[in-house]
Structure 1
Amino acid sequence: MHIDILTLFPEMFKGVFETSILNKAKEKEKFSYQLVNFRDYTENKHNRVDDYPYGGGAGMVLSPQPIFDAVEAIKKEKQTKPRIILMCPQGETYNQKKAEELAKEEHLLFICGHYEGYDERIREHLATDEISIGDYVLTGGELGAMVVVDSVVRLLPDVLGNKESAPMDSFSTGLLEHPHYTRPADFRGMKVPEVLMSGDHAKIEAWRKTESLRRTYERRKDLLEAIDLDEEDRNILANIKNQQES
């Protein structure tokens, strides 16, 4: 996978992209990236990328010219048709399903906005996707793009050390993940559940499924409404409800 990021502040990405899993993935050549300052594509003598909005109003609006030209230059250089992702508050709310969808692409291109917003022609004629990472407003799209890139790259083949890590993550199964424990078995009187040290893999898996359902029921009931539970899961969930109501 190759990722291009159009931004006015490319220096913001260095710390994130050159540490931890993203850096390891880059070193293993699982993905490559390019940071493009679209100010370099301006045609006016002051290198302005924004202007006052037609009709008046507060703030400045990003002009279409430098962003269109930057995208066209990248497409010409790479000879590809990238998935062009506009980071903006009006976009669809990002989730794990979207991450899994984007992880199948060969070329992603992110546009990070600033100021009051984008000229609408960027949204209508350039972007293939509009993504928001939540119902709040940031000073720019850079932080959102970092979140999306991190969640996508970790899903690429052989990026994570354990192949089972990503499929078992919260939201990957539609449920929140079960609790985890490690050594020591007894820490200040707080003990690890005995079933996890039993060596009985069937019982361990049953415990994990139950706790995953319990945690989802307690914290994110909305997730349960969005997935199809089998009969076993429905029975487990009914027992959890009865325990909490009794």
Structure 2
Amino acid sequence: MKINVLTLFPEMFTAVTGSILGRACEKGIITFNFINIRDFSNDKHKKVDDYPFGGGPGMVMMADPIFGALNSIDARGKKILYMSPRGNILDQTKIQQLAEEEELTILCGHYEGVDQRVLDHFDMEEVSIGDYILTGGELPAMVLIDTVARLIPGVLAGEDSATEESIYSGLLEYPQYTKPRSYEGMDVPEILVGGNHKLIYLWKFEQSLRLTRELRPDLFEDFVKNSKKLTKDEHKVLEKVLK
């Protein structure tokens, strides 16, 4: 996958191009193209914002520099995302859809947003990571990049790692433990060190069910509604939790 990012602060993205995603780049699985919007400003001071027509607080990013940046990569007609608090919330379904794209272009806004003509002309999809406001679109873009990239085959060491974790299974993740077996008077649950893989799996499944029911009842309800494909043993565990 190729990921183009239009931003005023390309240096911020070193946070997501190291470690796992860095290795994916080395393998040619992901290609990043960070574009500084200021490079396309015709102003001698590289100004990219101005006061909004009709008045109001703050400044708005001007159309011309963004048009220049997008035209430089021939972006029109391609999948372009604008990180915006008024967009649809980024969820599992959207992440999986985006992971199937061959190329994504992400626009990071700043100030009070961008000139609406940019969004209209390039038919951008607005995406939000939550109902709150940040100072810019860079952090939301990093969240989107990281969560989408993990679903691309070959990015994670284990092919099943991405979809087996936490919310991707429809349930929250069960408690995890590592060495030492006993610490400060707290012991690892005996079943996890007993060697019976079937019982270990069912214990983890039960813990996931209980945690999801307590912390995310909405997810738990959806899981129960779609539980027809569970095994006989899994159904027994679910019935136990429902009692």
Are positions 1:230 and 2:231 aligned together? no
Moved over 4 A (4+): 231-235
Relative to structure 1, is the Cα distance of residues 226 and 123 closer, same or farther in structure 2, using a 3 angstrom cutoff?
Answer: farther
1-side partners of 2:217 and 2:208: how far apart? 12
Q: Distance in 1 between matches of 2:81 and 2:60?
A: 18
Q: Which residue of 2 aligns with 1:27?
A: 26
Deviations 1:60-101 (A, max 9, x none): 11112221221121027xxx9531010011011112322221
160-169 or 108-117, which moves further after superposition? 160-169
CA contact (8 A) 1:168 1:177 kept: no
What is the CA-CA distance between 1:45 and the residue it aligns to? 4.2
Question: For residues 216 and 57 of structure 2, what CA distance do their matches in structure 1 show?
Answer: 38
Structure 1 distance, partners of 2:158, 2:184, is 30
2:41 aligns with: 42
Amino acid at match of 2:226: L
Kept after mapping to 2: 8 A contact 1:178/1:209: yes
Contact 2:81 2:127 in 1 (8 A): yes
- Relative to the length of structure 2, the TM-score reads 0.89
Does structure 1 retain, via aligned residues, the 8 Å contact 2:202–2:237? no
* Residue of structure 2 equivalent to 1:239: 240
Query: Are the counterparts in 1 of residues 182 and 188 from structure 2 also a CA contact under 8 Å?
Result: yes
Deviations 1:100-146 (A, max 9, x none): 21111111111000011111122223243211111111110001111
Amino acid of the residue matched to residue 124 of structure 2? T
- Size of the alignment, in residue pairs? 238
Superposed CA deviations along residues 143-165 of structure 1, whole A, max 9, x for unmatched, are 11111111111221121112221
Q: Which runs of 5+ in 1 are unaligned?
A: none
- Give the root-mean-square deviation of aligned CA atoms: 2.0
Contact between 2:77 and 2:122, CA under 8 Å: does it hold in 1?
Answer: no
- 2: CA distance between counterparts of 1:58 and 1:136? 18
Specify the code of the residue in structure 1 equivalent to 2:54. Answer: G
* Equivalences for residues 209-228 of structure 1 within 5 A: 209-227=205-223, 228=225
Alignment of 1:179-218 (within 5 A): 179-218=175-214
Q: CA deviation at 1:31?
A: 0.4
Read off the aligned partner of 2:104 and give its amino acid letter: L
